[in-house]
Amino acid sequence: MGYFEKYYTYYIQDIWLHKRIIHCVDRDLGLVSQTVEKELKSYSSVLQQSCSSALTPTNIATAVKKIIKEEDRTKEVVVFGVDEEAGECVTTKVSTILEQLEEKPRITGCRRVGQHVTGASTKRPIIFGVKSTDVVHHILRKAKRLKDIEGFKVYISPNRTLNERISCQKLVNELKKRRLADPSGRYFIRKGKIVKADN
């Protein structure tokens, strides 16, 4: 067999081997493609089932109400310690307090919260709404001035959720403990943490 014939034979064998490799790769790609398609279909069906159960009109409406309620809460302020009288106008009482802070926001949804007990000396808190969270922050920043004004023994705070109230109460209790343990130190709450002032 001459040089050309040998070269031709190797060439044919090489082509045959390449065809075999391509055939095997095609077969493997086909298997992978089928597996991926099958998995995607099963994932898609699971996703559709879970999404359809999660995205029922009732669930969507509940989620929207919760978001709106949380949004409304961030625009509300609570006032504690305001005297309660029969036939009172709570909006006027809140306006009088805010005038002491040089704030005159548009007040909405002003109301007392909690159950009224006839003859009880408790003063139910007042919740009122304002235009934005910025107005709430302005009021809260100035609220500590009230303790220096004669005749105003009230406390103003944001309208917190139950969990936020529990966390805040824990912080206040911890603050009291630290002040008792270290009377010379000046402790206060800032951004959800107890901080000691530098002397």
- Give the tens place of pLDDT for each residue, 43-58: 666 656 665 566 666 7
- CB within 8 A of 1, min separation 6: which ones? 9
Output phi, psi for 23, to 5 deg: -60, -45
For position 161, what pLDDT does the model report?
80
pTM beyond cutoff 0.85? no
Q: How far apart are CA 62 and CA 90, in angstroms?
A: 31
- Give tens-digit pLDDT for 75-108: 888 888 888 888 889 899 889 888 888 888 898 8
